[in-house]
Structure 1
């Protein structure tokens, strides 16, 4: 598979090993966080062939020949900067999954309304920020990215 643009191979000896385990334990890519292991929290969100998925629910064997983007490869700098600027980062555990979800949303919808942002982030749980700062960060990132467009 390709991860963040690089061809990678991992010897998976456990049937059904999750993409999350492979990324973290075999490839040393710790951006996607391991929290619930049930697809409920969104901390392990990555893009698989351009679509957001919970890496804990995807078997690595399903990823052969496919493109995986983690928080490192999927998130443009304006999104990361907006999270810091708006105080949308606190403990940081949910942050990688939120950043990937926001990057995906802004790729699809350059100027989303609050309701659409909430819908896009519904699969990502944050226990620290209360979400308002995250929504502010999405608007800030959208405005910055709009300024970068021709």
Structure 2
């Protein structure tokens, strides 16, 4: 694994953990603001999303919560209603254009958002939560099959 791949994995893990905090604090901090990271060069679409302020539960974040590709250092900042107002208020959700991408190895064709690298259009926090719930259910079933139902 290259150093950049390792850093991208770390940023994704951090984003999953950040989502837990975002969910926990969304009553007081109900908005997210998209921001560019400290990269020398930025993808065109990411520059266009700079400064977008949307509610935490906006569907845009399901596919656009950073990182959005290999080497992407973009980030979100959670904000209060007052902070959002001071920054110009809540934005209109950007148009979510998609493009078809074919995995040359498997032949599978996927629809991915423009500006998001293939495979990165997954919300790391929600994916982690879903995996954790599935894993927990599987372990519960396994436990019951070994021990039996406890009453």
TM-score normalized by the length of structure 2? 0.25
Report the TM-score, using the length of structure 1 for normalisation: 0.25
Greater Rg by CA: 2
Q: Which has the higher strand share?
A: 2
